[in-house]
Amino acid sequence: MNFERAFEALLGHEGNYLSAEAARRQGDPGGETKFGISKAAHPGEDIAGMTLERAKAIYLRDYWSPAGCDAVPDAIKFDLFDTAVNSGVKPAVRILQKACRESEDGVLGPRTLQAIQSMHPSDLRLRFSAGRRLLWSELKSWPVHGRGWTIRQAKNDLA
């Protein structure tokens, strides 16, 4: 999987425009959002005027590249990217490190990459998915958003 395909798949999870008021009503701490790009995470961006191309550039710059998605096996690329978007880059990498039984420092370095390469891709993906669900279950927002997150992961697993 490459970034282009991952971005298209991600848009299946991320909605169009959500006003700050609508986000407040839904309990979404990201606030105003378009194409999944939130005002909270990107305060300098014109969210209402966000173009698809601008969103794509932000996803590449802030999530795909920093998470190291190009360096991991295809079986885990989208899950790592989606987790970086949903939970942050460092938490996504820590989940990956835990999945491959490496020290969890949130940096995708040579030791983690070597550990990843030593695992069967389907085992890595299964362990990563479990780690992601464990992270969510520990969040205080789980009662509000847990069902949606679980559906998101299930759709990824079935894709």
For the chain, domains (ranges, CATH) are 3-158 (1.20.141.10)
Q: What is the pTM of this model?
A: 0.89
CA count, 13 A, side-chain hemisphere, 135: 22
Output the tens digit of pLDDT for each of the chain's 159 residues: 899 999 999 987 787 898 889 888 887 778 899 999 999 999 999 999 999 999 999 999 999 999 999 999 999 999 999 999 989 999 999 999 999 999 999 999 999 999 999 999 999 999 999 999 999 888 888 888 788 888 878 887 777
Backbone angles phi, psi at 37, to 5 degrees: -90, 115
Q: Spell out the long-range contacts of 149-154 with Cβ–Cβ below 8 A and sequence spacing 24 or more.
A: 149/86, 152/13, 152/82, 152/86, 153/129
According to DSSP, the residues that pair with 37 across neighbouring strands are 34
